[in-house]
Amino acid sequence: MEIKKIEKPKKALYRQRAHCNPLSDALFAYPTSPDHVNWAEHYPAHFPNSGVPADHLVVNTSEHPVSYPDEPVPDELNGASSPRPQILDIGCGFGGLLMHLSQLFPDELSLGMEIRGQVSNYVGERIRASRLIETSTCNNASVIRTNSMKYLVNYIRKEQCSKLFFCFADPHFKRSNKRRRIINDSLMSVYSYVLQPGGMIYFITDVKDLYDWMEGCCNRASALFERVSEEELSNDPVIPAMKTGTEEGMKVQRNGQPVWYAAYRKRLDLQ
């Protein structure tokens, strides 16, 4: 019997331009609602009776397509007690932070959301290779190609998530393009909707103008979120992962550039 050698994907083969317009009308497959997502396809180890093989890969790209059913997924695959992703890395890039998060929080499912097709393929192949090479690795991580600015609530239920990450997001420098920024005033209520009470938004960037913008959006949403103190963040294990866990973060560190980061907590007293 021939044993197939498992190799991790080479990042150089999946390069794609860094900038993408999230407000364009690019077509994505997306579910009608979170009830129409079969999470067993993304986390087969957590659904041992689903029949989904360990090497199954759906990313929502032409290479690894996903189809969403017209009818809701059965409760045994997506019911109230079924596991669902609680940690989202929005704009996950090449998946460095996503891999860190899967290790930092082994009892929670982490999901990367990425709009670029080739980059999403790389992350998916990276996760699958890690699962097959080291069977206990990355079983709680997955990735989906989607436009989270448009379709986040098609995947995620109300108060499903404990953490949202926005790391080294596209700054969209032009004044006319600032509405494309992934954290903006109109999306703060959406992020509050998917977060549990006490859930966290984290962001980091090496662009001070973008940091000021994101900070301003969160501060203006003070009815929904409160800022987490520097003292609390100094003991938070995700902060070092945010700084060095991504490709962009490692590049910034090599170049000795400063970074700015913050975290905001969804208020517990929301009705």
Active site residues: 170
Question: In whole angstroms, how far apart are CA 172 and each of 85, 167, 169, 176, 215?
Answer: 28, 14, 9, 9, 16
Amino acid in the structure at residue 136: S
